[in-house]
Chains A and B, each alone.
Chain A
Amino acid sequence: MGLKRYFAIRATILFGVLIATLLLTILLVGSNMDAIMKKGVAVQVRSEIVENKALSSSFQSVEDLDLYVQNQIEQRTKNLGLDTPWYSPNRIGLSMYKILVLDFGHATFLTSDNGSTAVSDIILEKLPRTILLFTTATIIISLIGIFVGAASGSNIHSKLDKVTSSFAIISSSFPVWWVGLIMIFTFSFSYNLFPARATPLVAPTDPGYIGALLYHMTLPLITIVLIGFGTWAYLVRNFMVGVMHEDFIFVKKAIGIKQNKIVFGSALKNSAPPIVTILALSLSGSLGGAIITEAVFDWPGMGRLYFEAINVMDLPVIIGATYVLTAFFLVSIFVADLLYGYLDPRIRTI
């Protein structure tokens, strides 16, 4: 199979997965969506009557009014296509098409900071903040992880290796959000070093906003890096252990090439394919933020948006955010595939 064909097939499959995810999301929240929209129509009709004095005084009796309201509601639900059940292929197809062309519609309850209800505006506002915190953290984690992991993997059973391995195991059993609670407890309340809530108090238009945001981001960043880099170092270490036992490394050692040059040159290069794959996946994973971690630190990013949306059942936001996150994830799987194929020629023969 040629490389191009391989990737073409992968791309098609991933697109199919995207559609399937989207369909599943709509199926899960569809029935609620219908109920909420119907309620919205009824509220709209009634408020129009209350606001329009001439209209409300034109009714002779209560029955007249009720009849009018009933007719209006029926007419509007028909116009919106709500008279067919939510699971009819037409409606699901329509909503899927809309989302595919990135028309997420308007949020029911949530708004962006400047008051826009368009779901795309809200997401575009939260995404940079999540990237700022979580992508930065992922980059720091992977850098520390690769360095520490390579150093300890090239010298197993050394002190560094033992410390790294046990730290990795121990840190991976603590939930990040719990460590976050402890960090807030210690550094915000006991020592007053950092703010407890990560949402800056100054307005986004203020020139000092970026500074405030960076200051507020310190504590979550430290927490995420602290809990995250051990696992990374351990993974890299295990890849390195495998590579360090290959024959060519022994040859290089025999020729007398320096240990450091072997480790960070040839050995790291040889364990690159899996490392790059994981890096790509975790970078894209970082875009979704972490719902619980953001809830703990009150960080105004994608994770908290998601949580708020689910709390008030703001379905357009839920669907939009799920779609965007899944799309990012799939793109990164694809990129990881591409990179793997590029870095490890053996894969192309499969």
Chain B
Amino acid sequence: MSAFSSEIKQSFLKSKLGLIGIGILVLLILLSVFTFVFVPLDTYKQWNNPASWTSFPRSAQPSWVNFFSEKKIPEHQIFDNPQIILQQKGLTLTVLERFETDYEFDYFPNDFIFQYVAKYENSPLLQIDVIRPDGKTLRLVSMSLPESDGMSAYSDKIFSTNDAIKKNLLLQSSQYSYQIDKIPSKEIIFSKSDSHEVLKGSYVFLVKLIGVDSQNTISDSSLILGGKVFGLVGTDELRRDLSIGLMWGTPIALFIGIVVSIGSVVAGLVFGVYAGYKGGKTDESMMRFNDIIYALPALPFLIILSVTTSNSIFLLIGFLMIFGWVGVAKVSRSMALQIKTRQFVDAAKTMGQKDSKIIFRHIIPQILPYALASIAISVPAAITTEAGLSFLGLGDPTFPTWGQILHDAKAYGAAARGLWWWILPPGIMIALTGLAFVFIGNSLETVANPKLRR
């Protein structure tokens, strides 16, 4: 057996495709590990909860598209780590937060949002100023927060479409040499003072909370500068960061594929070998049972099952195994039929070894290379079947999978609207995973079946 495995190893290492397959697989496994370690576990639980994705842009392209275009599309930026300065003047305490950004894009931002939680008593004053690259300072907001007697927490979001901002800007219209009353505030702030064009450079947003005789604080504040490109893969219509979905999809797909293929190949192997070895009536009845499963239309049954029982991913894995072992059982039975006529099996029998021992010690090791190859080859089918079911909307909603991302893409008409970054990456991931296992399986098969080597 050990001579066997070393022989397999040697011929396997000679095949280039097999090594490429191993390489891709290692990359995918590394990606899964990276996801588990660095991506917060919460992101996959919140995947189908639109409320947790509000600070992301809607249908933003991947940010690397800027490399290929002359005009730079504004990137969606979230600043949640401001510099905080406390200023005490007599009885007045000013909490100052400073956000700084380099705006080097050729278009105006989509919008901006400032969200914060303020803890205060009485009624402090909230001011937001922006210092522009041309040295001008614009006051955006100046308002007092709702009166409160004791210490209380108040959370709010200020949007760029806020009327107060527009009013404040109109008051400062003398800073501009043209009419600004028809222009939305987000464009006024970021445009040159002599023409309606983007002013590039460093912008500083200052948020001040001014209170008298108190210990006011601002926490959890963030400034979101809405753009049209975001991250490595962009976002979808529900504002979800697609890269997170794709990353979580990797371990799930690998898990489904590997568990289903190992389970069904092992089951098929044992079933087929036992039937072939026993022969006679046992063989006949076991093969008829095999025929029944073989004749069942798999995909329709999977759909019926997931509709009538539940769409849990673990149940689905079980169902996929039920439909997966049939082919392996047929082939390993015919292999067992050949092997059992060999002399060493006869020898073992005359020595009085138990059937189970003969099967596991003498017959199955002979078929092992074939079994390994079929495990690798049947992984892609399991992954694509799961993806297909998810694509039809029958997936397990507690896990983000590649198929579900594609389902959402179809549901929101991504193809019609040209949202290519929503359709391409999940399919490429599915294909890449499949390819890795097909490569590995094919080169294992060449090893297991020398006929193909010629």
Residues of chain A touching chain B, judged by Cβ–Cβ distance below 8 Å, are: 13-14, 16-18, 20-21, 24-25, 28-29, 32, 156, 169-170, 172-175, 177-179, 181-182, 184-185, 188-190, 196, 238, 241-242, 245, 288, 291-292, 295-296, 306-307, 310, 313, 318, 321-322, 325-326, 329-330, 333
Docked complex: B153-205 residues within 8 A CB-CB of A:
none
What are 25 A-B interface contacts by the 8 Å CB criterion? A16-B292, A21-B295, A28-B301, A28-B308, A29-B304, A173-B433, A175-B387, A175-B427, A178-B387, A181-B410, A181-B415, A182-B424, A189-B416, A190-B418, A196-B416, A241-B454, A288-B300, A292-B391, A292-B392, A295-B392, A307-B303, A313-B307, A321-B300, A325-B300, A329-B297
Contacts of A24 in B (CB 8 A): 296
What CA separation (Å) do A13 and B288 show in the bound complex?
7
Residue of A nearest to B21 (CB): A169
Contact status of A178 and B299, CB under 8 A, knowing A32-B308, A196-B416? no
Question: Measured between C-beta atoms, what is the minimum distance from A3 to chain B in Å?
Answer: 19
Does the CB pair A291–B300 fall under 8 Å?
A: yes
Interface centre among A175, A184, A190, A329 (most CB of B within 10 A): A175
Inter-chain contact A242/B451, CB cutoff 8 Å: yes
A269 to chain B, nearest CB (A): 20
Q: Which residues in window 423-454 of B have CB below 8 A to A?
A: 423-424, 426-427, 430-435, 438-439, 442, 451-452, 454
- Count of residues in B whose CB is under 8 Å from the partner chain: 44
Digit string of B357-397 for contact with A (CB within 8 Å is 1, else 0)? 00000000000000000000000100010011001100000
Interface membership of B305, Cβ < 8 A = yes
A306-B129 Cα distance, complex, nearest whole Å: 61
Interface contact A292-B415, CB-CB below 8 Å: no
Residues of A within 8 A of B420 (CB): 185
Q: Is A184 in contact with B415, judged by CB distance below 8 angstroms?
A: yes
From A13, A177, A190, A325, residue with most partner B Cβ within 10 Å: A177
Whether B303 pairs with A291 at a CB distance below 8 angstroms is yes
Nearest neighbor of A31 in chain B, beta-carbon distance: B308
- B435, A170: Cβ atoms under 8 Å? yes
Query: B346 at the A/B interface (Cβ < 8 Å)?
Result: no
Docked pose: A48 CA to B422 CA in angstroms: 51
Taking CB as reference atom, which chain A residue is nearest B388? Answer: A292
CB nearest to A18 among chain B residues: B295
Q: How far is the CB of B406 from chain A (nearest CB, A)?
A: 7
A313 to B303, CA, bound (A): 11
Interface residues of B (CB under 8 A from A): 17, 288, 291-292, 295-297, 299-301, 303-305, 307-308, 380, 384, 387-388, 391-392, 406, 409-410, 415-416, 418, 420, 423-424, 426-427, 430-435, 438-439, 442, 451-452, 454
A172 to B431, CA, bound (A): 9
Residues from chain B with Cβ under 8 Å of A172 in the complex: 380, 434, 438
Residue of B whose beta carbon sits closest to that of A302: B300
**Contacts A169-B439, A291-B300, A322-B300 given; does A196 touch B415 at CB 8 Å:** yes
With A181-B410, A291-B392 already in contact, the answer to whether A322 and B295 are too (CB < 8 A) is no
Contact B300–A173 (Cβ < 8 Å): no
Inter-subunit contact B454/A291 (CB<8 Å): no
Do A307 and B392 have beta carbons less than 8 Å apart? yes
List 13 extra interface pairs beyond A28-B304, A175-B387, A292-B392, CB under 8 A.
Answer: A17-B288, A169-B439, A170-B431, A173-B380, A177-B391, A189-B416, A196-B416, A288-B297, A291-B299, A296-B410, A310-B307, A321-B300, A329-B297
Distance of A28 Cα from B305 Cα, bound (Å):
7
